[in-house]
Chains A and B, each alone.
Chain A
């Protein structure tokens, strides 16, 4: 256990801090903390902020130089996230490509695919959407029905995806398709990269419970993509996708978990402003909120050490349980946030606009669903980590 910084890391921290001080200014400073992974609030401003980060070389830090990264170490990435959380800029808009598809491609893509797709992600020039879930297959993803068949040197795709985060902004989607209907469920799936701007792809926004447009349903009707735009092997898409879900539970979450401390401070301020702090029960829950936020941070830091290696903690397990803990804790925090605001918590602004704490209350409901539901995580933790017997499955 040693959380102290080496002189090099301390210098790096200083560099990050200085950059953030100089760049979280103006509109960005006025929009501190705006946006969540589950919304598209202030989208254009967040996009502008992402481009600011890109210009500073702070996106996709761990990627190799040749693809637009800076080959940053895990420790540097952690320092960056800690400083970033402290500065609390608007929430990044383009996480899909940077945190999910990019790492998947780095891991499983060909050299040509990486050279073609990674640099535009780091420059915020091309946006991505994840086409996994379908109306009839969410947790049971391996049963997915969207099909792709070869036609000359192209794939032709038919089917429907749903809950595609920020799908309406995507230039590209990475789509899980059934490419061998005869093979066992997990062995006939491929991950195709599909351009969105074509007649065969129809993207429609779905309004979420906060009243915002955030995720989409996507219809593929004879949509086409080039034959070589398969990530990994043809019919090997399941393994590639599981890698993406693992990533989703990994480092990305740290950024989200660290910023929760700002929310808790805001909740405490709201409670003070409403004269609610003498209430003994609320005080207990405010402390619980602060405790939960700190544990999210510590779980995340421990995960980063596990990713670095040399620790007895298994990163996949730690990522999964960090997610379960955080989504549950964050939901509790959302409930406390509403109580801290008292009667005013019921009132919304024009066009159903919600304050940050109301957003936390409603939005956290998504955190135990996306990226593998809490129940699915618990199944995996109990079977893979604890070694409990699998449930008998219908053959």
Chain B
């Protein structure tokens, strides 16, 4: 019984930290920020070829490495730390987890190997202009046409929607909610990148006009979507953990060297306590994220309560730490040039994604019977 990463997991963490700092440092992050649908394709290829990251948690039978959600969480933490601009969340978490939750083996065989190798970039389109992430509020219509299905309507806030080669669309058919696979080349599909405050996480609006789609087989698509959302919530908490760790490091480094009144600002108790409080919250978030990753990895019954809980808690803690980091830096922390604002923005976009923290606490309330 160990509430800690094991030796291999710690090694993975170290390797990734080095890989990302070499291949995707701040300059690389900034280069991708300006491009509304951009991501570093070369980095993406390397992530697949050298590290096998995209397929880490995909079962071996579908071309992945068959590791668990814990290892995936370690990757997400490091990417959060480095602010990596890549469709990893969409293509290595949301889409594969939705495939797996639906349990359509034929579809898994057809698409998962491409996702696992990184050759295919995929995403999930759920929210619409209303901004709601509840499948019950999906309006986009699916109707039969001949042997197949066509989609009509729109999706918004689609993570990496403009870059994806494959979109899993949650739509409303006559018999209820279904998930439909649409390739980016499909007829009648129109994709517009959305300008976002957090330029490290790309969103897009998609419109469908009689767009042909393949319906994925499932006994309960709405439940599968919810399972995918829960895992994505945990993934966002892991990303937040990484970012929180980085902003604390930045604060401490700066507080040691910046002098005012003839002494390092880190010797003032107001600054010290701010840093120590960030540490308290960071490590408490770490305990929560590690537990959630383990719960997700083992299919523990706790997962559905813990997922929205850690999402709300950890992104809120991240946002607050990112704000404190700016405060500790003074004027320089308010500039475009300094990376402090990038973390504040990533924290805010993580908070908004899948619905804010108030919504997530409402979900927990329902799930624990309040």
Interface set of A (CB-CB < 8 Å, partner B): 1-6, 9, 75, 78, 268, 271-272, 277, 280, 283-284, 286-288, 290-291, 294-295, 298-299, 301-302, 304-306, 308, 310-313, 317-318, 321, 324-325, 375, 377-379, 381-383, 385-392
**In contact, B1 and A321 (Cβ under 8 angstroms):** no
For the side of the interface on B, what is the size category?
A: 35 or more
**In contact, B364 and A291 (Cβ under 8 angstroms):** yes
Closest CB of chain B to A258's CB: distance in Å?
14
> Which of A298, A310, A389 has the most B CB atoms < 10 Å from its CB?
A298
Is B335 interfacial (CB 8 A cutoff)? Answer: no
**Selected A-B contacts with CB under 8 Å, 10 pairs:** A4-B298, A5-B1, A288-B361, A298-B291, A311-B3, A311-B4, A377-B276, A382-B266, A385-B276, A388-B271
Q: Given A286-B370, A387-B252, check contact A1 B4 (CB 8 Å).
A: yes
Q: Considering the complex of A and B, which 10 residue pairs feature the smallest CB-CB distances, nearest first?
A: A311-B4, A298-B287, A382-B272, A388-B266, A378-B276, A381-B276, A287-B361, A305-B3, A382-B276, A389-B267
CA distance A311 to B288 in the complex (A): 16
**In contact, B263 and A1 (Cβ under 8 angstroms):** no
Q: Given A1-B70, A291-B312, check contact A325 B267 (CB 8 Å).
A: no
**In contact, B287 and A302 (Cβ under 8 angstroms):** yes
**In contact, B1 and A3 (Cβ under 8 angstroms):** yes
Which of B190-198, B209-217, B277-285, B342-350 binds A? B277-285
Interface set of B (CB-CB < 8 Å, partner A): 1-6, 9-10, 70, 252, 255-256, 263-264, 266-269, 271-273, 275-277, 279-281, 283-284, 286-288, 290-291, 293-294, 297-298, 306, 309, 312-313, 358, 361-362, 364-365, 368, 370
CA distance A311 to B2 in the complex (A): 9
CA distance A294 to B289 in the complex (A): 12
**In contact, A378 and B1 (Cβ under 8 angstroms):** no
Q: Which residues of B contact A78 (CB under 8 A)?
A: 1
Q: Which residues of A contact B291 (CB under 8 A)?
A: 3, 294, 298, 301
CA distance A295 to B365 in the complex (A): 16
Q: Given A1-B4, A291-B312, A298-B288, check contact A284 B358 (CB 8 Å).
A: yes
**In contact, A1 and B293 (Cβ under 8 angstroms):** yes
Q: How many CB-defined contacts (below 8 Å) exist between A and B? A: 164
Contact of A277 among B309, B312, B361, B370 (CB under 8 A): B370
**In contact, A283 and B2 (Cβ under 8 angstroms):** no
Contact of B256 among A75, A280, A389 (CB under 8 A): A389
**In contact, B1 and A389 (Cβ under 8 angstroms):** no
Closest CB of chain A to B154's CB: distance in Å?
30
Q: Which residues of A contact B293 (CB under 8 A)?
A: 1
CA distance A175 to B128 in the complex (A): 68
**In contact, B288 and A306 (Cβ under 8 angstroms):** no
Q: Given A295-B313, A318-B283, check contact A388 B252 (CB 8 Å).
A: yes
Beyond A75-B1, A271-B370, A290-B364, 13 additional contacts (C-beta under 8 Å) are A1-B3, A1-B297, A6-B1, A277-B370, A291-B309, A295-B287, A304-B3, A312-B10, A313-B283, A378-B276, A379-B269, A382-B266, A391-B268
Q: Which residues of A contact B10 (CB under 8 A)?
A: 312
CA distance A101 to B2 in the complex (A): 28
**In contact, B294 and A3 (Cβ under 8 angstroms):** yes
> Which of B269, B272, B293 has the most A CB atoms < 10 Å from its CB?
B272
Q: Which residues of A contact B306 (CB under 8 A)?
A: 294
Closest CB of chain B to A174's CB: distance in Å?
30
